C-alpha cells in the first residue's frame, strides 16, 4: 500500500527530487513536499500480480497533466494537434522518500508497468507528424 505524502515527508534525509526537463518553458526540480501544491486526486487501482493475485491500492496526488501543464510544454496551440508529436519519457528508480512520486494508470491492471520512485520526466517535441506511410 502506498504511503501518504505527509508520512513520506517525515523520512530522514534530503527530500527526493523529480526533474521536469526537455521542451518546456519552465523546466524545474520538484521535491515530494512540493507535490501537494497541485490539486490532489484520489484513485483506486486493482493490480494483478503473478505471485499474489489481485491487490487493491489507493493513490492520492497531483495529475501528471497538471504538473506538466504548469511546466509549459512548448507546442503551438494554434497548430492543429501539435501536442500529439510530443513524447513523454518517465524514468524511475528505487523508491524515493519511501513511496516517492509514482505514475499510476488506474485502467492498467498490470502492476509491473507502474513506475515508482520517479526521478525524471522528459518532454521531447522533436518529432514530426507521422504520415502513416512506410
Q: What percent of the chain has pLDDT over 70?
A: 66
Fold of 5-121: Sulfite Oxidase; Chain A, domain 2 (3.90.420)
Q: Does position 99 have pLDDT exceeding 90, yes or no? A: no
Q: What is the pLDDT of residue 3?
A: 38
Q: What is the pLDDT of residue 40?
A: 95
DSSP for residue 19: E
Q: How many alpha carbons fall within 13 Å on the CB side of residue 115?
A: 14
Q: What is the pLDDT of residue 42?
A: 93
Q: How far apart are CA 86 and CA 91, in angstroms?
A: 16
Q: Is the pTM of this model over 0.85?
A: no
Domain borders along the chain are 5-121
Helix (H) or strand (E) holding 66: helix 64-71
Q: Which 3 state secondary structure label does DSSP give 69?
A: helix
Tens-digit pLDDT profile for residues 63-86: 888 998 899 888 776 777 777 777
Strand 118-124 and strand 87-92: the pairing is antiparallel
Tens-digit pLDDT profile for residues 45-68: 887 777 778 888 888 889 888 998
Among candidate residues 10, 69, 15, 17, the one with its CA nearest the CA of residue 39? 69
* Highest-confidence segment of 68-77, 91-100, 104-113: 68-77
Q: How far apart are CA 122 and CA 20, in angstroms?
A: 6
Say if residues 97 and 70 touch (Cβ distance below 8 Å): no
Average pLDDT over residues 81-105: 65
Amino acid at each position: 500500500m502506498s504511503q501518504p505524502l505527509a508520512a513520506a515527508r517525515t523520512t530522514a534525509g534530503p527530500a527526493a527530487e523529480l526533474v521536469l526537463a526537455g521542451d518546456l518553458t519552465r523546466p524545474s526540480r520538484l521535491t515530494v513536499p512540493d507535490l501537494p501544491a497541485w490539486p490532489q486526486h484520489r484513485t483506486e487501482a486493482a493490480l494483478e500480480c503473478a505471485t499474489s493475485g489481485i491487490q487493491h491500492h489507493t493513490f492520492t496526488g497531483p495529475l501528471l497533466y497538471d504538473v506538466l501543464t504548469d511546466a509549459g510544454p512548448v507546442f503551438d496551440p494554434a497548430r492543429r494537434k501539435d501536442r500529439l508529436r510530443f513524447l513523454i519519457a518517465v524514468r524511475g528508480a528505487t523508491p524515493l522518500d519511501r513511496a516517492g512520486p509514482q505514475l499510476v494508470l488506474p485502467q492498467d491492471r498490470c502492476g509491473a508497468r507502474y513506475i515508482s520512485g520517479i526521478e525524471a520526466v522528459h518532454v521531447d517535441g522533436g518529432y514530426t507528424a507521422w504520415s502513416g506511410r512506410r
